Amino acid sequence: MDIARFTADAPLEEMQAALREVGILIVEKLVPDDTMDRIESEIAPDLEAKEPGGGKFFGFKCKRLGGAVGRSPTFAHQLGDPILTGLADALLLDNCKTYQLQISGILQVWKGGEPQPLHRDIGVYEPYLERKPGGPEILVSLMWAVTDFTAENGATRLVPGSHLWESERKAKPEEEIQAVMPRGSLAIWRGNILHGMGVNHTDTPRTGLVGGFSVGWLRQEENQYLVCPPEKAQHLPERVQQLLGYKAHSPILGWVEDRDSDLLLRAGNRDNDNDNAAYDDQTLQY
Ligand SMILES: O=C(O)CCC(=O)C(=O)O
């Protein structure tokens, strides 16, 4: 089984089927180069200030920064991309009314280190949620290539079809496939898929933006209301605000004062009712 690959003009239904069956797909060059340039310049100061080193699991040679949506407004806008949300709809809406951003971060892998242990992103909920191979998903995981992802520079290793495996089954090295993809591409995989960071054997760092969506009735892994508080979130499109969690999961999970929380966010912005103009601004700033 291989990773399914598409260009952004492929029929959404074919991509949705691949995500359900293979469990992993790549949408090549989903984000245009000039948008990637803006994202890179927005995250550059934070990355420069960070030293590599996060331990055995997070990677001794990895610069890791959380809360990417709070650091790069241009990246935050990408969450509402219709191909991305069309794929997340197909996977998660069987199991919830609305889904939300689970986590977002920047992962820059430098030369050296070791392969990250393979893991499933749904593992953060063990032992409280029982894993059912092939069962309804609660998570979908995302990786945008900020630089090209190559076999040599540590492209993510993924195990297609492993969402169907029993938890005890270990992947053989030949069952791992790397998410080799050009800059601007998005790899998307089911939360039940085994995966891990690769090793960078080159002198140039590999940079990825990692993310995930989870069903809206579950506690988010990262606290999005601190990562992207209302002062920042009010400048984002309403769909992105909802995805960050500024919306109650029907009927009342996450409500505030008996109201859906996305309405409250807009009420906070009541005296500054020109927020839509900011969405089209090419020099996006919080
Ligand atoms: O950076 C990658 O390629 C994957 C990282 C990952 O899965 C993680 O840190 O949990």
What span, in angstroms and rounded, lies between the C-alpha atoms of 227 and 28? 28
Instruction: Using alpha carbons, select from 45, 99, 29, 43 the residue that is nearest to residue 74.
Output: 43
Ligand 1 atom with the smallest distance to the CA of 156 is 3
| 134-161 pLDDT, tens digit each | 989 999 999 999 999 999 999 999 999 9
Question: Is residue 265 pLDDT above 80, yes or no?
Answer: no
What span, in angstroms and rounded, lies between the C-alpha atoms of 89 and 107? 26
Give nearest CA residue, ligand 1 atom 1: 197
Ligand 1 atom with the smallest distance to the CA of 208 is 1
240 Cβ below 6 A of ligand 1: no
Cα of 246 vs centre of ligand 1, distance in Å, is 26
Cα of 197 vs centre of ligand 1, distance in Å, is 5
Ligand 1 atom with the smallest distance to the CA of 109 is 1
Cα of 224 vs centre of ligand 1, distance in Å, is 19
| 162-219 pLDDT, tens digit each | 999 999 999 999 999 999 999 999 999 999 999 999 999 999 999 999 999 999 999 9
Ligand 1 atom with the smallest distance to the CA of 58 is 9
How is residue 169 annotated by DSSP? P
| 29-46 pLDDT, tens digit each | 999 999 999 999 999 999
| 92-130 pLDDT, tens digit each | 999 999 999 999 999 999 999 899 999 999 999 999 999
What span, in angstroms and rounded, lies between the C-alpha atoms of 68 and 212? 12
Cα of 256 vs centre of ligand 1, distance in Å, is 34
How would DSSP label each residue in 19-75?
Answer: HHHTSEEEEET-S-HHHHHHHHHHHHHHHHHPPS--HHHH-TTEEEEE-HHHH-HHH
pTM, 2 dp: 0.92
Going by pLDDT thresholds of 50, 70 and 90, the confidence category of residue 280 is very low
Question: Is residue 228 pLDDT above 60, yes or no?
Answer: yes
Mean pLDDT of the chain: 91
| 157-167 pLDDT, tens digit each | 999 999 999 99
Going by pLDDT thresholds of 50, 70 and 90, the confidence category of residue 282 is very low
Regarding the domain delimited by 4-226, which CATH topology (the fold level of the hierarchy) does it fall under? Jelly Rolls (2.60.120)
Give nearest CA residue, ligand 1 atom 4: 197
Give nearest CA residue, ligand 1 atom 9: 58
Question: Is residue 286 pLDDT above 70, yes or no?
Answer: no
- For position 267, what pLDDT does the model report? 62
Task: Tell which one of 57, 124, 141, 156 to mutate to probe ligand 1, the residue whose CB is within 8 A of the most ligand atoms.
Answer: 156
Going by pLDDT thresholds of 50, 70 and 90, the confidence category of residue 268 is low
CA distances for 69 relative to 65, 199, 211, angstroms: 11, 26, 9
Give nearest CA residue, ligand 1 atom 2: 197
